[in-house]
Amino acid sequence: MDFYLDTLLNLPSLTVESFTQEEQQVFLKLRFLHESSPCPHCQNPSDKLHQNRPILIRDLPISGQCIYLHLPRRQFYCSFCQQYFTERLSFVDWERRYTQRYEKAIYQRIQTTNIEQVSREEDLSWDQVQGIFNHKFDQAKKRLGVRSPA
């Protein structure tokens, strides 16, 4: 839709199809630039779309406005290995509702303030902020090779 919005978002495989604004929230409807996805089981590309269930993902704010990405969540059928698979998004961790960059920003803010303050400022529940913190903390431990006590 708009080259400038696409550039601002910096999500190379997606383009902004449309947007709506409601108070301090902006909803960007995105679509993929490619029709296929590599199968995680056999690595062959598949363009056999089985179903599409859109999801809403929160991203970093722009000019003080909350940004929500309305994304197609595509499931494909691989004719090579005959399995169904859901396309992975490189910028959203599996089964998460926030972009990785948004979660990283929240995690960093919690380290200098506290969960309660971040919760108020981001209009998220305490449990949502705690969940983001735990998720990023667990990822950091894995990167460092730290094991949890048995």
Q: pLDDT per residue over 4-24, tens digit each?
A: 888 889 998 999 999 999 989
Give 30's contacts (C-beta < 8 A, 6+ positions apart): 11, 14, 15, 16, 17, 69, 70, 71, 72
For the cut 80, the answer to whether the pLDDT of residue 150 exceeds it is no
Q: What are phi and psi of 50, to 5 degrees?
A: -90, -50
Entry pTM: 0.89
- State how far the Cα of 5 lies from the Cα of 82, in Å rounded to an integer: 37
Strand locations in the chain (E): 14-22, 25-32, 37-38, 45-46, 49-52, 55-62, 65-71, 74-78, 83-86
pLDDT band at 144 (very low <50, low <70, confident <90, very high): confident
Bridge partners of residue 62, in order along the sequence:
65
**Domain residue extents for the chain:** 1-89, 93-144
Residue 81: DSSP 8-state: T
